[in-house]
Amino acid sequence: MSRKALIVEDQPDIRKLIVMTLEFEDLELHEADNGADGWRLAQGLRPQIMLLDVMMPGELDGYQVCRKVKADPVLARTTKVVLLTARGQQADLEQGQKAGCDAYLTKPFSPLELLDTIDRLCAVTQ
């Protein structure tokens, strides 16, 4: 059975690029373009991997969604969160760690690095 991946990213072009990258793997892909929808989808799907943009318009940004996932007793066990963001300052990384993310990749991201990160995190979950 293929693993589920949820991509939460507000920029359609970047989302498409992530989809194109993840299509190289055996993953069932789901998408959301804002944090609130991403959080709702995550609760229903319980994906193995969640790729989260940090800066998104609306009620919840990536850090907040990540915190919610990690505070949820079910999702905290099933879902690995990768924050994917243009914010690469040390303070941003620390904020990501505080939110409980499992990996933090900065944009422009390397598709190879993204796939390797996903493989590594999924291997830990299995």
Binding site for another protein (CB under 8 A): 10-14, 17, 20-21, 24, 33-35, 55-61, 63-64, 87, 95, 107-112, 115
Q: Shortest gap between Cβ of 63 and another protein (angstroms)?
A: 8
Amino acid code (one letter) for 41: L
Among 64, 25, 16, residue whose Cα is nearest residue 48:
25
Give the HSE-up count for residue 119: Cα atoms under 13 Å, Cβ half-sphere.
11
Output 59 or 125, the one with its CB closest to another protein.
Answer: 59
Minimum Å gap between C-beta 16 and another protein is 8
DSSP character at residue 80: E
Backbone angles phi, psi at 111, to 5 degrees: -55, -40
**Residue whose CB is less far from another protein, 61 or 102:** 61
Q: Which two tokens stand for residue 78?
A: 């099933």
Q: Which is nearer to another protein, 6 or 18 (CB)?
A: 18
